[in-house]
């Protein structure tokens, strides 16, 4: 099991008690189906959706269906639970997506979302520089490749030296990539890493959920510390739980019901 899978499994333990045998559950952003498989293990009937296919060669844990990211292909009031894990921050039209999840949720159903915190954003920005230093051991071209990949660039990374990559890029592109070396970029659909300190806050998430017709019935920390660059991959789960008390939890859980 990968370190990321261990973290996701630990986060799921925080919400596992909300799932029951015989429930119909919709997962948004299923990825490789790992967390859908954990939900299915509770005896629930799971449907998992995503906007992209799992890359070839990736282990698939549970069937995940493609959809357009806007219209959920199920009738209204179809599900007892809607679940997502570290997904909502990547959705550009978030209000539409949340309204769609509200539509397919039964009147007595619950939506459960695991989301990054400002603490995760802060420590991910700080560990960006050790991450770059670590990649420096692999050579400049790999640093540049990692920078472009983590920035979500669609241009294929070159295999040459970093200065050759810069020289071949348009001036505006060079400036963008140079800034990307100096500053960590945003994780989700937001203007900057600094802006995400607000966008990932409980107060902001609550405001978005309430605007979309949900009432927050629970908002809790998952009490697990990690960063986006995995600079300390060997940290054990007990140590991560301990560090979360000092440095903050990487994620929080929101449990929602339809507002009356």
Q: Do 86 and 215 belong together in one domain?
A: yes
Nearest CA to 7 out of 188, 254, 230, 168 is that of 230
Q: Which of 41, 40, 34 is nearest to 11 (CA)?
A: 34
Is the domain of 41 the same as that of 90?
A: yes
What CATH number is given to the structural domain containing 46? Answer: 3.40.50.150
Say yes or no: 79 and 22 in one domain.
Answer: yes
Say if 173 falls within a structural domain.
Answer: yes
Comparing C-alpha atoms, which of 39, 38, 60 is closest to residue 50? 60
User: Which residue did the predictor score with more confidence, 229 or 166?
Assistant: 229
Establish if 189 belongs to a structural domain: no
Residue 188 located in a structural domain: no
Best CA proximity match to 237, nearest among 1, 2, 7, 5: 7
Residues 103 and 32 both lie in one domain: yes
- Mean pLDDT, the chain, integer: 86
Q: How far apart are CA 105 and CA 205, in angstroms?
A: 19
| Same domain for 239 and 142 | no
Q: How far, in Å, CA of 227 to CA of 1, rounded?
A: 18
Task: Classify residue 195: in a domain, yes or no.
Answer: no
Both tokens of residue 237? 């789960």
Over the stretch 216-242, which tens digit does the pLDDT of each residue have?
A: 999 999 999 999 988 788 899 999 999
The whole-angstrom separation of Cα 35 and Cα 37 is 5
Q: What is the pLDDT of residue 146?
A: 52
Asked whether the whole model's pTM tops 0.85, one would answer no
- For the chain, the domain total comes to 2
Are residues 127 and 214 both part of a single domain? no
Residues 88 and 9 in one domain: yes
Comparing C-alpha atoms, which of 218, 247, 240, 7 is closest to residue 118? 247
Asked if 100 and 29 sit in the same domain, the reply is yes
Residues 157 and 234 in one domain: no
Between the CA atoms of 146, 58, 20 and 87, what dihedral angle is there, to the nearest 10 degrees?
30
Across 25-40, average pLDDT: 97
102 plus 217 within the same structural domain: yes
Structure tokens, 19? 């799932």
Query: What span, in angstroms and rounded, lies between the C-alpha atoms of 201 and 239?
Result: 24
Q: What is the pLDDT of residue 177?
A: 56
42-69 per-position pLDDT tens digit: 999 999 999 998 888 888 999 999 999 9
Residue 95 domain boundaries: 3-117+201-258
Percentage of the chain exceeding pLDDT 70:
82
DSSP 60: -
- Is 133 a domain residue? yes
22 — pLDDT class (breaks 50, 70, 90) = very high
What is the tens place of the pLDDT at every residue in 89-142? Answer: 999 999 999 999 999 999 999 999 999 999 999 999 999 888 887 777 766 555
In this prediction, residue 180 carries a pLDDT of 61
Same domain? 15 vs 100: yes
Residue 172 lies in a domain: yes
Shared domain for 96 and 142, answered yes or no, is no
Are the CB atoms for 127 and 187 separated by under 8 Å? Answer: no
Residue pLDDT, tens place only, 136-165? 776 655 545 554 454 443 322 222 222 332
User: Residue 169's pLDDT is what?
Assistant: 37
Sheet holding 79-85, edge to edge: 65-66, 45-50, 24-28, 79-85, 105-116, 251-258, 214-221
Q: Is 194 exposed, middle or buried (0-12, 13-18, 19+ CB in 10 A)?
A: middle
Is residue 20 one of the residues assigned to a domain?
A: yes
Question: Binning pLDDT at 50, 70 and 90, where does residue 166 land?
Answer: very low
196 within some domain:
no
């Amino acid at each position: 099991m990968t370190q990321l899978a261990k973290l996701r499994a630990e986060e799921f333990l925080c919400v596992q008690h909300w799932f029951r045998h015989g429930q119909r559950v919709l997962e948004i952003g299923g990825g490789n189906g790992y967390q859908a498989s954990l939900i299915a293990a509770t005896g629930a009937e799971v449907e998992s959706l995503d906007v992209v296919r799992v890359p070839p060669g990736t282990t698939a844990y549970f069937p995940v269906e493609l959809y357009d990211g806007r219209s959920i292909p199920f009738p209204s009031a179809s599900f007892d639970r809607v679940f997502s894990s570290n997904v909502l921050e990547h959705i550009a039209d978030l209000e539409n997506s949340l309204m769609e999840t509200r539509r397919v949720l039964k009147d007595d159903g619950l939506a459960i979302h695991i989301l990054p915190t400002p603490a995760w954003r802060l420590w991910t920005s700080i560990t960006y520089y050790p991450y770059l230093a670590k990649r420096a051991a692999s050579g400049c071209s790999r640093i540049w490749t990692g920078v472009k990949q983590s920035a979500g660039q669609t241009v294929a990374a070159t295999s040459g030296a970093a200065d050759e990559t810069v020289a071949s890029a348009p001036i505006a592109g060079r400036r963008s990539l140079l800034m990307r070396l100096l500053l960590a970029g945003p994780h989700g659909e937001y203007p900057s890493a600094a802006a995400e300190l607000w966008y990932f806050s409980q107060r902001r998430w609550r405001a978005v959920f309430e605007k979309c017709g949900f009432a927050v019935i629970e908002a809790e920390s998952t009490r697990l510390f990690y960063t986006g660059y995995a600079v300390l991959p060997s940290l054990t789960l007990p140590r991560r739980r301990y560090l979360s008390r000092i440095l903050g939890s990487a994620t929080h859980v929101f449990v929602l019901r339809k507002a009356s």
